[in-house]
Copies of this chain bind each other. A is one copy, B any other.
Amino acid sequence: MVTKKNQYLITSALYSHAARKFSARFEVLEAGAGKSFSDILKEIILKEKIKILGIENDNLKVTEYDRISKNVKQTKHFDLSSLRILKDTDEINLIGKACEIGDKAYSQVLKKIRIGMTEKEIALELEWIIRQTGAELSFKPIVAFGPNAAVPHHQTGNDKLQKNQCVLIDFGVKYDNYCSDMTRTFFFGKATYSQKKVYDTVLESQQKAIEYIENQLENNKKPISTNVDAIARKFVTDAGYPPFNHSSHGIGLEVHELPHISSSNDPLENGMVFSIEPGIYLPDQMGVRIEDLFAIQDDKLIPLTHSPKELIEI
């Protein structure tokens, strides 16, 4: 709980030791059998004469909300998560560091890929490389071979890698609580002419979205969130491919957080960090997605992921 004057961390006795150790700038208060979480909230509210208590709608379960709101009549629904929409430089640097670890892990895993490996084995290899650096995964990696890549959120399984299949890898690193997210698609063996065309179209559609943002910023205009995916999607459908059904998204402490990109007319502003991730999915054949993270800083679009994007055949 953050007030104008103080910041409190209310936790069970089980976690108060860790809370004091890792959150030195917070006053740690223990909730337990004697005094419940909402009892403590109420005391602070009375003591500091708080008029409105905002909550994070997106991070509170209904059970927890019921317990608080029964006891604390000042409770109001606020989407406090919007406070996180703008990142400061330290935060952007941490996301950048997560991206850097991801870039290195991706280049290492590429060297380990062999015929007959399963999707799960590649995912585990990638996880192992990341965790050996001391970082964590920000989500369970998606590894999809050939036709499996046509399912945008394929459930990584036990299929074995065959010659001349596309390989889609979507993964993220969590470094000091901040998340990265990146997707690359490459070909194990040779890509056919039509597969190369799919790849190039996705890459170019991402480039169109990037250029839109850059042009707006250069002309002192604010890029509009909803245009980012729309421009990429139009490029894909204009080339005769089906539209992708997923969206670019903000990222930070969580893999998906504000800003909303697909459905919002809000402008993209300095301090925002988000993905741009077009894709083409051809059912029962193949799929290609290319996803990178970007920050806007000093009215410039700064790429945070740097893994190569030219078509790779290994």
> Measured between C-beta atoms, what is the minimum distance from A71 to chain B in Å?
16
Within 8 A of B (CB), among A26-81: 32-33, 55, 57-63, 65-66, 77, 79
Binds B, one of A12-20, A100-108, A299-307: A12-20
A131 to B155, CA, bound (A): 16
A151 to B20, CA, bound (A): 12
Residues in chain B near residue A22, CB distance under 8 A? 155
Residues in chain B near residue A155, CB distance under 8 A? 18, 21-22
Given A18-B151, A131-B124, is A60 in contact with B57 using a C-beta cutoff of 8 Å? Answer: no
A246 within 8 A of B: yes
Interchain CB contact under 8 A, B58 and A77? no
A259 within 8 A of B: no
> Measured between C-beta atoms, what is the minimum distance from A28 to chain B in Å?
14
A152 within 8 A of B: yes
A153 within 8 A of B: yes
> Measured between C-beta atoms, what is the minimum distance from A279 to chain B in Å?
11
Select the residue from A13, A61, A151, A246 with max chain B CB neighbours within 10 A: A61
Given A66-B77, A124-B131, is A246 in contact with B61 using a C-beta cutoff of 8 Å? Answer: no
A245 within 8 A of B: yes
Residues in chain B near residue A245, CB distance under 8 A? 13-14, 32
The residues of A with any CB-CB pair to B shorter than 8 Å are 13-15, 17-18, 21-22, 32-33, 55, 57-63, 65-66, 77, 79, 124, 131, 151-155, 245-246, 263
Pick 15 A–B contacts, CB within 8 A, sort by A.
A13-B245, A14-B152, A14-B153, A14-B245, A15-B153, A18-B151, A18-B154, A18-B155, A57-B62, A58-B62, A59-B61, A61-B61, A62-B77, A65-B65, A124-B131
